Chains A and B, each alone.
Chain A
Amino acid sequence: MTTYLLRRAASSVIILIGISILVFWMLHVISGAPGRAVLGLRAAQQAVDAWNKSHGFDRPLILQYLTYMNQLVHGNLGTSYKQTLSVNTILAEHAPVSAYLSGLGLFFAILIAFPVGIFQAVKRNTLGDNVITTAAFVTYSMPVFLLGLLLIQIFAITLNIFPPGAPAAVSQNSSVIGAIEDPRAMVLPVATLTFVSVAAYSRFMRSSALDALAQDYIKAARAKGLPERLVLMRHLVRNACLPMVTLIGLSIPALLAGNLITENVFNYPGLGIMFINALQNEDYPVLLAYTLMGGVLTVVGNYVADIALTVADPRIRLA
Chain B
Amino acid sequence: MFREVETLPPVTSAPQVAEGGDVTVIQSGWRLGLRSFAQNRLAVVGLGLIVFFVFFCWTGPLFYHGNVSLSELSQANTAPVVGHPLGADVNGFDILGQLMVGGQASLEIGLLAAAIATIVGTLWGATAGLAGGIVDGVMMRIVDVVLSIPLLFVVLIVGAKWGSSILSLALIIGVFSWLVPARLVRGEVLTLRVRDFVAAARAAGSGRSRLVLRHLIPNALSVVVVNITFQVADAILLVAALGFLGFGLNFPVFDWGDMLAGGTNNLLNGYWWEVYPVGLCIVLTVMAMNLIGDALRDALDVRLRRR
- At the interface, yes or no: A189 with Cβ under 8 Å from chain B? no
Residues in chain A near residue B83, CB distance under 8 A: none
Contact in complex: A291, B145 (CB < 8 Å): no
Contact in complex: B260, A146 (CB < 8 Å): yes
Nearest A residue to B240 by beta-carbon distance?
A143
Contacts of A1-44 to chain B: CB distance below 8 A: 11, 14-15, 18-19, 21-23, 26, 30
- At the interface, yes or no: A98 with Cβ under 8 Å from chain B? no
Contact count band on B: 35 or more
A291 to B244, CA, bound (A): 20
Contact in complex: B290, A143 (CB < 8 Å): no
Contact in complex: A149, B287 (CB < 8 Å): no
Residues in chain B near residue A14, CB distance under 8 A: 141
Instruction: Choose among B150, B154, B268, B290 the residue that contacts A140 (Cβ–Cβ < 8 A).
Output: B290
- At the interface, yes or no: B286 with Cβ under 8 Å from chain A? yes
Known A137-B290, A141-B286, A144-B241; contact A19-B268, beta-carbon cutoff 8 A: no
Contact in complex: B283, A257 (CB < 8 Å): no
Residues in chain B near residue A94, CB distance under 8 A: none
- At the interface, yes or no: B160 with Cβ under 8 Å from chain A? yes
Q: Mark B138-158, 1 if CB is under 8 A from A, else 0.
A: 000110111011111110111
Contact in complex: A291, B268 (CB < 8 Å): no
Known A256-B150, A275-B156, A295-B149; contact A141-B279, beta-carbon cutoff 8 A: no
- At the interface, yes or no: A232 with Cβ under 8 Å from chain B? no
Contact count band on A: 35 or more
CB distance from B247 to the nearest CB of A (A): 7
- At the interface, yes or no: A193 with Cβ under 8 Å from chain B? no
Nearest A residue to B263 by beta-carbon distance?
A149
- At the interface, yes or no: B233 with Cβ under 8 Å from chain A? yes
A275 to B237, CA, bound (A): 19
Contact in complex: A142, B283 (CB < 8 Å): yes
Contact in complex: A298, B260 (CB < 8 Å): no
CB distance from B245 to the nearest CB of A (A): 6
Instruction: Choose among A142, A203, A298 the residue that contacts B150 (Cβ–Cβ < 8 A).
Output: A298
A interface residue numbers (CB < 8 A to B):
11, 14-15, 18-19, 21-23, 26, 30, 125, 133, 137-138, 140-146, 149-150, 152-153, 157, 164, 203, 207, 253-254, 256-257, 260-261, 264-265, 275-276, 279, 284, 287-288, 290-291, 294-295, 298-299, 302
B interface residue numbers (CB < 8 A to A):
1-2, 4, 141-142, 144-146, 148-154, 156-158, 160-161, 233, 237, 240-241, 244-247, 257, 260, 264, 267-268, 270, 272, 275, 279, 282-283, 286-287, 290
